[in-house]
Structure 1
Amino acid sequence: MSPPRPRKRKLMDEQIKLMRERGERLRQAAQSIGITHAAKAAGVPYTTLRDYMNGSEMKLSAVASLARVCGVTLDWLAYGVGETPLSQSPSRPALQRGGHQIVIPWLDDREEGLRVGKGWLETTLTRPTIAALRLTDVTGDAMAPTLLHGDIVMIDTASTQAQGGALYALKVDETVMLRRLDLRLGGGIRVLADNDRYPPQDLSAEDIQSLRVVGEVVWFGGLPRG
């Protein structure tokens, strides 16, 4: 058997090097918000994320989702193009509390919140009320295809005034329900699901008094679409 051609071996070595460098960038990005949280928010199994960080080949859809939830650019994560994000710089501890990192708590007061970069919040959300942000899970298919079962939703609990077409978290008994609220001419509100199987509900001005709006949905993340 003839030995492998040197050029082919060189190309393989370069590809392995690039994959390892990509994995290291992914590790830095994921550590900035917590690796477990990064996997859940991006809809990537933890074991798969671990393999990616160790240099395994990555799906582009997964890389794009991970870049989004970690608050880094796709170009930087996939190809190393551009400057290292400030929160990932070696001179800035990735898990630093305070100035560059914010922990967003869950609406149901679970022990662990989601750690995100402050810079990512400020560039992703147009008008964030950071202290009022809370997280919840999507259950069921009422808001499909916009929100899928298992997605993570970020809610601004300071924004409770209904505006046409916006997504809101509503508290019904002890259950959190995600719906669109549309203002009706002459008063009242129409409560809408994105899934056509769920008919709209019209609330009169009197009914609105008993409607508890938890807050407006300002971000969501989950499995890569398509």
Structure 2
Amino acid sequence: MSIGKRLRYLRGSVRLPDYAERYGVSKSTLSRYEKGQNLPDAEFIAAVCDAHNICPGWLIADKCWKNKAPLQLDESAGAVAAADDFALLGFLRQYLLGLNTDLNALLVTRVQGDAMAPTLPAGSLAVIRRQECQRGDDGLYAIASAEKLGIRRLQWLVDGTLRVKTDNPGYEDQSLTAAQAGQLELVGRVIWTGQTQF
């Protein structure tokens, strides 16, 4: 079943013009989506999935890539980039295919909170490549501890110390010893960000 047929299934008995109006598109646009003539954009996919309480992976590819135990945001611990849905969103399809990478190795998360602002404001998206976790290579990474996931700027020093940094000066940076850094779970490197709010 194609994405268009899944959209038609979700619409059910609702009239096409009414369904289109509900999600802010024209009836001709929705008709093209359902016929497979055009792919829906990220905002449309997000709105439909939120309204129907479904995993975007199902709508996009008939597969639900949602983590069985989603990582929960813990504001008090400063883990402000939460992986509330590990679904690959369709609007990145062409870009990601151009990277010549395994799409199964990618995660998409929505940022909550402002620890990484202005680079990653609340509501922005981050694409994480799980296979790209070379320790010693500075950059933006998704890191995990217990049931929390956060995005931080990592900087390795020559003595093995790791600096875990936020971009917001209102938050404290952390320094980890080489031993502590070795215990840090790197989920993957951030390879794309976008300031799209749902």
- Provide the TM-score with structure 1 as the length reference: 0.51
Which stretches of structure 1, 4 residues or more, deviate above 4 A after TM superposition? Answer: 106-112
1:35 match = 44
3-state SS of paired residue (1:169): strand
1:76 match = none
2:159 is the alignment partner of 1:186: yes
- With over 3 angstroms needed to count, the CA separation of the structure-2 counterparts of 1:162 and 1:209, relative to structure 1, is closer
- With over 3 angstroms needed to count, the CA separation of the structure-2 counterparts of 1:135 and 1:185, relative to structure 1, is same
Q: What aligned pairs does 1:2-13 form with structure 2 within 5 A after superposition?
A: none
2:95 match = 120
Cα deviations by residue, 1:52-96 (Å, 9 ceiling, x for unpaired): xxxxxxxxxxxxxxxxxxxxxxxxxxxxxxxxxxxxxxxxxxx88
Q: What aligned pairs does 1:52-91 form with structure 2 within 5 A after superposition?
A: none
Q: CA deviation at 1:154?
A: 1.4
Q: CA deviation at 1:34?
A: 7.9
Q: Is the 8 A contact 2:86 2:107 kept in 1?
A: no
Q: CA deviation at 1:181?
A: 0.7
Aligned residues: 146
- Specify every segment of 5 or more residues in structure 2 that has no aligned partner in the other structure, as ranges: 1-25, 52-58, 71-83
Give the structure with higher Rg (CA). 1
The root-mean-square deviation of aligned C-alpha atoms, in Å, is: 3.8
Q: Which of 101, 114, 118 is the equivalent residue of 1:145? A: 118
Q: Which of 165, 169, 180 is the equivalent residue of 1:196? A: 169
3-state SS of paired residue (2:114): coil
In the alignment, the residues of structure 1 paired with residue 122 and residue 138 of structure 2 have an alpha-carbon distance, to the nearest angstrom, of: 21
- With over 3 angstroms needed to count, the CA separation of the structure-2 counterparts of 1:141 and 1:115, relative to structure 1, is closer
Q: Is the 8 A contact 2:162 2:177 kept in 1?
A: yes
Q: CA deviation at 1:191?
A: 0.8
Q: What aligned pairs does 1:73-112 form with structure 2 within 5 A after superposition?
A: 97=61, 105-106=65-66
In the alignment, the residues of structure 1 paired with residue 86 and residue 150 of structure 2 have an alpha-carbon distance, to the nearest angstrom, of: 22
Q: CA deviation at 1:164?
A: 4.2
In the alignment, the residues of structure 1 paired with residue 163 and residue 106 of structure 2 have an alpha-carbon distance, to the nearest angstrom, of: 25
- Specify every segment of 5 or more residues in structure 1 that has no aligned partner in the other structure, as ranges: 1-19, 41-45, 47-94
- Provide the TM-score with structure 2 as the length reference: 0.57
**Sequence identity percentage:** 29
